[in-house]
Amino acid sequence: MPGRAEGGDLSTHSSSHFLVASPLPSSFNFGDISPSRGEISGSASLMISLLIRRTLSLAVTLLIVSLLIFTVMDLLPGDPAAIMLGTSASPETLAALQKQLGLDQPLPVRYLAWLAGVFRGDLGQSYTYGVPVAGLIGERLAVTLPLALIAIVLSVAIAIPLGVQAARKHNGAFDFVAGLFSYISIAVPAFWVGLLLIILFSTMLGWMPAGGFPGWDAGFLACLKALILPAVALALPQAGVLTRVARAAVLEVMNEDFVRTARAKGLSEGIAIWRHAVPNALVPVFTMLGLQFTFLIAGAVLVENVFNLPGLGRLAYQALSQRDIIVMQDVVLFFSALVILMNFLVDLAYLVVDPRLRAGAQ
């Protein structure tokens, strides 16, 4: 397949895991902005100090994000209380809500009060639902989390075999088909895939519900049935990206010494690849998965709305249409914290997964 970009070329810059997190993994090396694997060597104490440094930086980042979102919401024109109440509210009601929201306090006071609340697990009260936001988020997470997990599992289950096989049949017909699959699945919007799945499996075949969620009380299978179409829609674009990454990673590893040794030992090529090349390819795949988390969340917001799933994304959307600023602010913060945490975990996973680092830690 001449002319095709060589699978997004993670290969040439394996020391840098700081990739452009666009849906197309591309061949950009961002210098040595983050500590590269090579730097981390030697004793376990080094590893521990690294862990502490990363954790501290995580905490600082989370604090800054919360401050940023808080400030941006504050700087935006418009009074949250007025926005929530609409135009018909009386001045007394407005003043009361302003007081209830603490809007009469200066920004630093409100921020600190909110932060203290977060540590107590109190994210404030939803204006429209009249319940604590923390509980609301927990409730909705029971839909979004399984949805995201199924989507992740599906995307990896599609991408690894496709990518590995494409790398083995490098430049062959299978490689071409896998490349085509990547291109197309990255280009189709997840919410449109959702609509097509509804047309096919609900409207035409009548096999699946067109949307909605029965609740976990209705049983595991009923819930799975409600989640599977949205998860497929969500998984497809991810699978396209991951296939490219897996292919590039296996291609790179395939010619390295240990795979050659395994072959020389008499292991068949298939076994050599699955035992040695694939585990190494998993590192960039999971890195990309972590970096793609932002897009997974954005996709979930859309897909949940297509399938009418009562998840976090739908909650954010409902909060917007009901002008429930507090819920929106908390959900945005929650999602952002999740993305940052994922990136942190990817960094940690490097320490666990990479044998060179493990050796350094022992």
Partner 1 sequence: MRKLLRRPVFLIGLVITLALFAVALLSLVWTPFPPTKMNIVHKLKAPLDFGFLGTDQFGRDVASMLMVGAWNSLSTSILAVLLGASVGTAIGVVVAMRRGWLELVVMRGCDIIFAVPPILSAMMLGAFIGSGRFTAIIAIGVFMVPVFARLALGAALQIWTRDYVTAAVSMGRPKAKITLVHVLPNISNQIIVQVTIQLGLAILTEAGLSFLGLGMPPPTPTWGRMLADAQTFLGQAPWLALMPGLAIALAVLGLNMLGDGLRDLLDPRDNS
**CA proximity to 86, closest of 359, 322, 354, 331:** 322
Segment interacting with partner 1 (CB under 8 A) among 37-45, 93-101, 297-305, 351-359: 297-305
Strand partners, 132: 125
Using the rule CB under 8 A, which residue among 73, 177, 282, 349 binds partner 1? 73
Query: Does residue 315 interact with partner 1 by CB under 8 A?
Result: no
Window 37 to 66, contacts with partner 1 (CB under 8 A): 57, 60-61, 64-65
CA 237/CA 297 separation, integer angstroms: 12
What is the torsional sign of CA 232, 9, 360, 278?
Answer: positive
CB 6 → partner 1: shortest distance, Å?
A: 7
CB 16 → partner 1: shortest distance, Å?
A: 8
Give Rg (Cα) of the chain: 24
CA 279/CA 160 separation, integer angstroms: 10
What would the two tokens of residue 88 be? 């018909």
Number of residues that bind partner 1 (CB under 8 A): 69
CB 241 → partner 1: shortest distance, Å?
A: 11
Window 175 to 194, contacts with partner 1 (CB under 8 A): 183-184, 186-189, 191-192
Using the rule CB under 8 A, which residue among 228, 340, 348, 353 binds partner 1? 340
Q: Is 125 helix (H, G, I), strand (E, B) or coil?
A: strand
Contact criterion met (CB below 8 Å) for 178 and 264: no
CB 179 → partner 1: shortest distance, Å?
A: 9
Window 201 to 240, contacts with partner 1 (CB under 8 A): 203, 210
Strand partners, 125: 132
Cα separation values, 234 from 147, 238, 243, Å: 9, 7, 15
What would the two tokens of residue 98 be? 């302003």
Site for partner 1, rule CB under 8 A: 2-6, 12, 18, 20-24, 26-31, 33, 57, 60-61, 64-65, 68-69, 72-73, 76-78, 83, 183-184, 186-189, 191-192, 195-196, 198-199, 203, 210, 294-295, 297-298, 301-302, 305-306, 316-317, 320, 323, 325, 328-329, 331-332, 335-337, 339-340, 343
